[in-house]
Structure formats: structure tokens, C-alpha cells
Amino acid sequence: MFCPKCGSLNPDDAKFCGNCSSQLAVEPVTDTVRKVEEIVDINQDQEAISTPLKYSVAIAALLFPIIGVVMGIMYLAQGETESKKEVGKFWLIASAVGVILYLMMTGSI
């Protein structure tokens, strides 16, 4: 390795420079490995935070179609007026969209 102070070439395992006797860089490879491990740790932390979020979104996406179908059938069954039937249709369409979103999120599509 090269001395950081005077720039003269020294053996890789040398701890001190043969020219100026200043201390040479200590274990640079280990430092790099440590930095990579820190980056991996940060990524794992982010995954730990996002996993409960993914589950709650998936649960919401699953509940939404169920509520949508129930509301849709209720409105269509009791739909004396056109506006109530329209609301029923809206809920059924919304639940279908919810199912598609859920399948997309879980990777089934």
C-alpha cells in the first residue's frame, strides 16, 4: 500500500511507513465490509417497517370488496328508486376494483 503521508510504496502488511514511519491505514477491507453490513442493516430495518403497512393495506383491500358487495346487494335489493340502484351499482363496481387491487398487491396477477 502507499503511505497516506509521504506516498511511498510499502508492503501490504506493513503497519508503519518504511520512509517516514507514520502509521499506515489499518484494515481498510474490514472497514468496507462493515460499511456494507451497515447498509444491509438499514435495508432490513426499512423492510421491518413496511411489512405491517403491507399487511394493513392488504386487509383493507380485502375488507373493502366484502363491504362493497354487501352494500351493493343491500341497495339493489331495497332499490325502490333509480338513485339507490345507482349507489348499489357503484358499490359493486368499487368492490370489483378492490378485488383487482388486492390481487395486484398480493402478486396474483
Catalog residues that contact Zn ion under the rule CB under 5 A: 3, 5-6, 17, 19-20
Q: Which long-range contacts (CB under 8 A, 24 or more apart) does 92-98 make?
A: 92/68, 94/64, 94/68, 95/64, 95/65, 95/66, 95/67, 95/68, 95/69, 96/65, 96/68, 98/61, 98/64, 98/65, 98/68
| Residue 24: CB minimum distance to Zn ion, A | 8
Residue 6 has what DSSP assignment?
Answer: T
The residue (of 15 and 54) whose beta carbon lies closer to Zn ion is: 15
| Residue 28: CB minimum distance to Zn ion, A | 16
The residue (of 20 and 67) whose beta carbon lies closer to Zn ion is: 20
The residue (of 20 and 42) whose beta carbon lies closer to Zn ion is: 20
| Residue 21: CB minimum distance to Zn ion, A | 7
